[in-house]
Homo-oligomer: A and B are copies of this chain.
């Protein structure tokens, strides 16, 4: 399958759903909704919602009913970027090729835009889904909160900040990656498999798939920060090195970091070996992680 064309088509579906589900920019409070849309709309690759939809497809489900939950994933991802970019955190001026939320608006608005997006995510995730038992929806809301929260993404960001001030070894770096980026990627995959009606074995295999590609994605991202194309990536390249930030390539070299990412992708693919052709998008997404150039 043509992964670039697939990603383009899926991103369009997600973008249209986000535009429908997120408050219009002319609705009060106008400045807040403008700030949210500035950061959310037309921006990212939509990897997390696309993974959720691909996981649902892999267990034979339609995508349409799961769009609100898929969009919830993007809301959480975007809120985390808005808050991470704040002066008190990573202090970034540029994101996805545009001014970050607090640069375009102001710090207070950016804090509230993040809070609003995080809250909206749970409103979308808890919407009843046609054909899905309410108890499954509820279980996936709990799971999402765990993966996004203190012992998931937020905790990972905290660890990452604390680690900036000292030497970090590989085990700790892996811990940070698994929490900061991995948890939400795994959560997207699991939610798609569960809400798509997969059985326990399928859900568990897709969970392990998600864990593997989540870590692979972050390692590949670190590699791209060194060898990637600044223009294509829409952000400053080499920033990790400038800040002497611990990364996989910094700790083991670019070559070994690439090997590590490839091994994880192969592990992810092996989790899908009993799945039908419906899992082709999931397989192609795993391969794309290490093949991409931005």
Contact = CB atoms under 8 A, between A and B. Distances in A.
A189 B135 CA distance: 23
Q: Which label, helix, strand, loop or mixed, suits the secondary structure of the A interface?
A: helix
Contacts of A123: 142, 145-146, 149
Interface in A31-74: 31-33, 36
B108 A120 contact: no
Contact of A36 (B86, B115, B137, B150): B150
A126 B141 contact: yes
A280 to B, nearest CB: 32
A227 interface: no
A238 interface: no
Contacts of A159: 28-29
A111 B91 CA distance: 13
Nearest to A137: B138
Contact of A119 (B29, B126, B133, B145): B145
Contacts of A88: 106-108, 111
Given A123-B149, A127-B142, A134-B135, A155 B31 contact: no
A28 to B, nearest CB: 7
Given A28-B155, A120-B150, A134-B137, 18 more contacts: A23-B150, A29-B150, A29-B159, A31-B162, A83-B111, A112-B157, A112-B158, A112-B161, A115-B118, A119-B145, A119-B148, A119-B150, A122-B141, A123-B145, A126-B141, A126-B145, A137-B138, A141-B141
Interface size class of A (residues with CB under 8 A): 35 or more
A196 interface: no
A155 B32 contact: yes
Nearest to A175: B28
A118 B118 contact: yes
Nearest to A86: B111
A109 interface: yes
A228 interface: no
A8 interface: no
Contacts of A32: 150, 154-155, 158
A9 interface: no
A234 to B, nearest CB: 24
Contact of A116 (B120, B137, B155): B155
Nearest to A102: B88
B154 A119 contact: yes
A142 B122 CA distance: 7
A29 B108 contact: no
A275 B260 CA distance: 65
